[in-house]
Amino acid sequence: MSGQPRLVEVRRKVLKHNDIVADELRGRFAAAGIFVVSLVSSPGSGKTAFLERTLFRMRERFRVAALVGDLATENDCARLARAGAPVRQITTGTVCHLDADMVDKALNGWDLGALDFLFIENVGNLVCPSSYDLGENLRLVLISVTEGEDKPLKYPTIFHTADLAAITKIDLATAVEFDSAAAIRNIQSVRPGMKVLELSAKTSQGMDEWFAVLESKLARSVQASG
């Protein structure tokens, strides 16, 4: 015979395992003096073109590498390798996001000490990646002008977990009647105070500001760990 059920208080984060692995990664990144940026966006917002341009330019002065997450295919990896930086693909199969374990596994055998920047391109998805800490130092959320100004209001959580936002394909803004001011207002409403970049990987408009952000972040993190 069973008695009355009893209620036991516990305190346990559901993603405890991921958080532990992410913290370990963060520690390794700090020890190696490397600055890690993750990119999140919808499919087709221009993450890969943006990353290609970033790797190409940054590798003139820094040691850069990238991990690229995708459900299937290694096309992005092949495309990014053209920028001349080491790139590894993480194929997630049916999983809609990267987690810290996948990043940890993908880094196996890589000498982090030989890098200044590591970029992690998440699977194109504005929902699921928001729950998973990858140990990154900066999470950049991208929206393209073709997606509409209200994207931040529709997917507030991912904007809330991000540190920096970028509006991509800004060269198409006029053609698609994109209202930049409204988009920035929406981002600010969801995530007050977050810096927003407006850029185009194609024309390089606004890319220098992005590179300046990266450089200042690296300088600050090296200073903090030194």
Binding site for other proteins (CB under 8 A): 2-17, 95-97, 127-128, 130-131, 153, 156-158, 160-161, 188-193
Q: Which is nearer to other proteins, 4 or 174 (CB)?
A: 4
Cβ 169 to other proteins, closest distance in Å?
Answer: 24
Nearest C-alpha neighbor of 87 from the set 60, 52, 61, 53: 52
Minimum distance from residue 197 beta carbon to other proteins (Å): 19
Shortest Å, Cβ 113 to other proteins: 33
Measured from the CB atom, is 131 or 146 closer to other proteins? 131
Determine the Cα–Cα distance for residues 32 and 21; give it in Å rounded to an integer: 17
For the bound state, the minimum distance from the C-beta of residue 38 to other proteins, rounded and expressed in Å, comes to: 14
Q: By C-beta, is 170 or 183 nearer to other proteins?
A: 183
CB-nearer residue toward other proteins: 159 or 210: 159
Question: Based on CB atoms, which residue is closest to other proteins, 13 or 224?
Answer: 13
DSSP string, 65-98: EEEEEESS-SHHHHHHHTTTS-EEEEE-TT-SS-
Question: Residue 216 corresponds to which tokens in the numbers above?
Answer: 């200042």
Nearer to other proteins, 161 or 205 (CB): 161
- Sheet with 164-168, strands from edge to edge, namely 87-91, 64-70, 117-121, 35-41, 138-144, 164-168, 195-198
Rounded to the nearest whole angstrom, what is the least distance from the CB of residue 188 to other proteins in the complex? 7
- Beta partners for residue 39, in sequence order: 121, 140
CB of 148 to other proteins, least distance (A): 15
Adjacent-strand bridge partners of 41: 142
Residue 121, phi then psi, degrees to nearest 5: -90, 115
Contact 186, 222 (CB under 8 A): no
For 69, phi then psi, to 5°, come to: -95, 135
